[in-house]
Structure 1
């Protein structure tokens, strides 16, 4: 069941704390394939080449860009891409360093270069008014893109994604206060032996999805990732605060979030958290999806498909 609210002001809300597991690990040249062959005699666009991300394109129609979350494969979006490709041109993004995609940047920066490359992909591909949908860290990246390059983005959906992830630790959290925890999380990723890392991922996956198959996929994706990339990414995710830029945004934003009374975030806590953290974003549409943990598209696929259709149809 979906519960929709649109925020127009700043409500006074009780401080809440959600499980930190929802932001833990799990929440060369690459080619973007053209949606269809260029006409005979026409000059085909140059392929998109990046060492930060690759893009698979399916279908035709209005453009939809799907970004996976921390440690995940683009396959997290496969069911939605297959469903949408009859009516939309779907761009499935894979981030370098995650789920076996090569990583060549050591412990260098992660998130901002991804946002820069997404902007270049949209610009070079001539995409107009693209809908950008991201899960978890992918939602953070989509929000950053809309803040920095609003002319390239038609609308944004942030799926179970906060503008400051470390707000999960409480309403007084700041990037500075979160830094020790971020450093600790990064160090843990780098230090764990393969067996311990996999076991930890399996434990965390229980809190991130109700669906057993989704949990298994999460573990396989994170086990195949580059630990340096993942350590850098989690540190940046936990210390990046996009809230100061929300009030000036003009891009339409939908922010679905999960609620699960049996092992996830109870509705009252989730409502308070999302309303508080998105309070200053004009017109943001908050949608609570009940019976779901962090991976809404896996736990409630029918509800998420309906939500996606309404998002894409909205002006």
Structure 2
């Protein structure tokens, strides 16, 4: 059982690694990328995020993970913009964007504002593609208002990260640890070298490691700390039973081979956490680390393309 314990610990680490070593805020570094969003000021209606809309067709919301701005989806947008209208989300406080005015109930506020955005923009059951925290947010949105959201593509995320080490864990049991983590992370304590080492556990390509590290260093520690706390103290394992739409879950395991994990043992964690989700399929990448759209791009698009073709129709 030792290797299983290590596996759960390391799986938990991939959610933490982008944030736990965050330093204090640094000067933003300008990076030019194709399709890079240039968001205007956040409207009062959704102060916790900005949106860039690219392309035409059925609407798709793309939600990034912890510390990443919407530009993490550049290649995904380039792939889909001719057939889908991509609504690229950048969360406040991540990757150099201005921090939110308040972090009180941060992720719940993001959830509610995204659902309000869908309504005010009159988006008809938009597809939601979310990575890590973004995948968690997609599950939360869909389980809160099942009728508002279309099919989901969840990229390496779970309904309750607080239960990775102990499947029987409850929110109240996890809360003290989450509070300690929030206090530590909000102070910020690392340098670029330490952050890069942590990022290398989540993505393979050197240039990608540099970019993801830069985003982490540019993120607001208090915002990241609160987002992690909210994820650790929100258990969606029962709530996802309300989701009415089909869901594709893409998981990673290759980064944990050195700790004794296998594809089967990692899949078991996903299978257990998604047990209540009515219509879903779990697929595990052979080679990708946490950023599957970077590390296993062909596999990511192959599965996502087939899933969307099977489960969506063109917007009217």
Normalised to the residue count of structure 2, the TM-score between the two structures is 0.84
Contact 2:46 2:114 in 1 (8 A): no
Q: Which runs of 5+ in 2 are unaligned?
A: 20-38, 312-316
SS of aligned partner of 2:177: helix
Q: Distance in 2 between matches of 1:55 and 1:134?
A: 14
Mark the runs of 5 or more structure 1 residues left unpaired by the alignment.
1-13, 33-46
Q: Secondary structure at the residue paired with 1:71?
A: coil
Structure 2 counterpart of 1:68, from 64, 67, 80: 64
CA shift for structure 1 position 259:
2.4
**Per-residue deviation, 1:306:** 1.1
Matches of 2:165 and 2:292, distance apart in 1:
22
Match of 2:22 in 1: none
By how many angstroms is 1:66 displaced? Answer: 0.4
Q: How is 1:1-315 mapped onto 2 (pairs within 5 angstroms)?
A: 17-19=8-10, 20-26=12-18, 31=40, 50-193=46-189, 196-260=190-254, 262-263=257-258, 265-315=261-311
For the 8 Å contact 2:45–2:113, the answer to whether it is kept is no
d(CA) in 2 for partners of 1:123, 1:272: 36
Rate the CA distance shift 1:199–1:172 in 2: closer, same or farther, 3 A: farther
CA 1:22 to 1:80, structure 2 compared with 1: closer, same or farther past 3 Å?
same
- Deviation of 1:203 after TM superposition, in Å, equals 2.3
Aligned residue pair count: 285
Aligned-residue CA RMSD (Å): 2.2
Distance 1:206 1:173 in 2: 29
Partner in structure 1 of residue 33 of structure 2: none
